[in-house]
Amino acid sequence: MPAAENKIKTYFLGDACLCWSLGRSISRPASLRVLCAYQRLKENKELAGLGVLDFVPSYTALAVHAAPGTDWRAVRRIVDGCFASIPPDGAALTGAAVRHVLPVSYTGEDLPRVAQLTGLTEEEVIERHAAAEYMVAMIGFRPHFPYLLGMDKKLMAPRLDSPRFKVPAGAVAIGGEQTGVYPEESPGGWNILGMTDPGLLKAINPGDIVIFRRTR
């Protein structure tokens, strides 16, 4: 990893949230470092005693939320030390990741579009998407929406030119280099490959593993 990508910047979001940012580019090493810090820090009792309320990971940053009057200098010391102890490749996750198997009916309306854009057959798109083992990098956009690491690069497809007003709950979709599942009906511009049970998403957390099992 280039030296520039090892630099971590901090910035406040209001007066009750401080973020540690590893950059702007989505990469597996950066996400793994964030997830490792998230995993370690949420178990840190000293931070809880300092008034820290929650940790929210994203692809390249960790947001730390705290109560008014928190000693941010003390929080910085602990969080900075945590990041400094994590290898640049992020290969320091501890414990066994929780695995979630999501049954998918690959009958999505954008399957032909993704096949055309990628130069693959529809069957090859399905096989490649279902073959991967994904890590949950973050939960965002909507409650319980998992953003997943590990998608085959051959499946990268641009978002729709005109987003839909209504994407159904449970839609399994691709947007650029990302894949995820819509937990509820909402607007969205990702390419829909299939459908799964949105109720299964409620148990999924950052750092978990998601596997798509093809049903048809």
Per-residue pLDDT reduced to its tens digit, 12-69: 998 999 999 998 888 889 999 999 999 999 999 999 999 999 999 999 999 999 999 9
Domains of the chain, residue spans? 3-84, 99-214
Per-residue pLDDT reduced to its tens digit, 143-159: 999 999 999 999 999 99
Instruction: Identify the CATH homologous superfamily for domain 99-214.
Output: Cyclophilin-like (2.40.100.10)
Name the fold adopted by 3-84: Gyrase A; domain 2 (3.30.1360)
Helix (H, G, I), strand (E, B) or coil at 1: coil
pLDDT at residue 93, as a whole number: 66
CA dihedral 11, 144, 35, 195 (to 10 degrees): -130
Residue 92 pLDDT greater than 70, yes or no: no
CA distance 71 to 54: 15
- Judged by phi (left if over 0) then psi (alpha if -120 to 50, else beta), residue 117 lies in alpha
The dihedrals phi and psi of 73, each to the nearest 5 degrees, come to: -65, -40
- Judged by phi (left if over 0) then psi (alpha if -120 to 50, else beta), residue 131 lies in alpha
pLDDT at residue 4, as a whole number: 41
